[in-house]
Amino acid sequence: MRKDVVPVSSPSPLPPLSPPAGPPPCPPARRVSLPAARPVRLVLCLSPVLLAGCWALADRPVASEGASRLAAADPGWLLAGAALTCLTWVAAACVRQGSLPDKLPPGLLLASQFAAGAANHVLPGGLGAHAVTLRFLRARGVPLDRATASIGLYSLARSVTRTLVLLAFLAACPARRRLGELVPDGPVPVPAAAVAGGALAVAGVLLTVVPPVRRPVTGLVRAALADARAVHGRPCRVLALWGGSAAMPLVQAGTLVCVGTSLGLGLPWEQVVLAHLAAGTAVGAVPAPGGLAVDAALVWTLVSFGAVPAVAAATVIGHRVLNDWLPLLPGALTLSALIRARAL
C-alpha cells in the first residue's frame, strides 16, 4: 500500500530586524580649530616683546644715561665692541653643541642663543637662557633627561674654564694685589661654607631617604655620564665645548675693554679683563636679573684699580647697553618668531 507523501513547507525567512528606536549615531568628530586659541597664541608669542618694553620703561634712566655717554664715545671702538658681542652668541652656540652628541641645526641653534639673551632679563641667574635652550632641544627630539644633562655639562664647563682663565690672569697680572682690598674683613667664608655644607647634607638625605627623588636624579646622572663620555670621545665636540667655554669670558671682557677705551677709562686691557673676570666670578651666582649685582661689583673693582668713578660707571653702563640693551628687542622678536615657527 502506497503512502501519500505530505510535502513539508520550508520555513519562511525571518523579517529583517528593525533598527532600535533612538537618535541616529553621531558622525565622527572632526578636529575644529578654535578661534579663541589664536589670540592666546598671539599673546604668548608677543609676551617677550611686552616684557622687554616693561623692562626698558622700568630702567629708563639707566638706558638714557648709557646712551648719552655712548653718544660721545669713539665709534670705532664701539663697533669693535659690537662685533665682540656678536661673537658671544657664536661661542654660546658652540658650547651648547659641544655639550650634546646629537647634531643640531647651526642656524636655529644660533638663533636660539640670540633669543636666550632676551629671556635672561626675565628670569635671573641664567635660568631664562637655560629654559629657552631646553625647549629648543626638546623640539629637536632630545629626551628630557639628556637635554637637562646637556645644560648641566654646559654650566659645568663654563664655570671650570672661567675659573681657570681667572687664575691665569691672576698669575700674570701684577694688579692682583689690589683685589685683596675688595675682600671684606671678618670670617665671611665660614657662614658661606656652613650654608653650602647644609645644602649638600639636605640634598644627600633627600636622595637617600626619598625614592621618588632618587630615581629621576639617578637617571639624570646616568644620562649625563653617558653623554659626557660620548662628547669627549669626539675631538670636534671637545673643541666646541671647552674652547667655546674659554672664549666666552674673554669675548665678554673684550667688549668691556673696547667700551672703556672709547670712553677713556685709562686702565690697561689686562686689568680691565681681570676686573671683569673677578667681579663675574665673585657675584655671578647672585640671583639678580640683568646682571645688576655684577655691574655694581665691576664698578667697584675698576675704581680699586685706579679708574675715575664717573668714567668707570659710564664704562659699565655702556658695556651693559652694548651687550644687553641693544640686542634686547631683536632678541625678543627672534624669540617670538621661534615660538611661532614651533622651533621652541
Q: What is the pLDDT of residue 28?
A: 47
Question: What was the pLDDT predicted at 38?
Answer: 57
CB environment 228-261: b (16+ within 10 A), e (fewer)? beebeeeeebeebbbebbbbbbbbbbbbbbbbbb
- What's residue 81's pLDDT? 93
Helical H segments across 174-243, by residue range: 189-209, 211-232, 235-238
Instruction: State the pLDDT at residue 30.
Output: 45
Predicted local confidence at residue 230, as pLDDT: 92
What burial class does residue 171 get, using C-beta atoms within 10 Å of its C-beta: 0-12 exposed, 13-18 middle, 19+ buried? exposed
Pairwise CA distance, residues 138 & 151, whole Å = 12
**Pair 115, 331: CB distance under 8 Å:** yes
Per-residue pLDDT, 110: 94
pLDDT of residue 234: 93
67 vs 83: CA distance, rounded Å: 18
Q: Given the C-alpha cell 646637556, which residue does it identify?
A: 150
For residues 109 and 22, what is the distance between their CA atoms, to the nearest angstrom? 58
H or E, element range at 186? none
Question: What pLDDT score was predicted for residue 245?
Answer: 95
| CA dihedral sign of residues 188, 190, 196, 199 | negative
Distance CA 339, CA 333 (A): 10
Separation CA 10–CA 238 (nearest Å)? 89
Domain boundaries, the chain: 47-181+194-340
259, 232 Cβ separation under 8 angstroms: no
* pLDDT tens, per residue, the chain with 344 residues: 454 555 544 455 545 544 445 445 544 444 444 444 556 555 555 555 565 566 556 656 655 665 676 678 888 999 999 999 999 999 999 999 999 999 999 999 999 999 988 887 666 657 788 989 999 999 999 998 899 999 999 999 999 999 999 999 988 887 767 665 555 444 444 554 565 566 666 666 666 666 666 677 777 788 888 989 999 999 999 999 999 999 999 999 999 999 999 998 889 999 999 999 988 877 655 555 545 667 888 888 898 888 888 888 889 888 888 888 888 889 888 988 998 888 88
Q: What is the pLDDT of residue 26?
A: 47
Q: Which pLDDT score, from 0 to 100, does residue 309 have?
A: 85
DSSP letter at 288? -
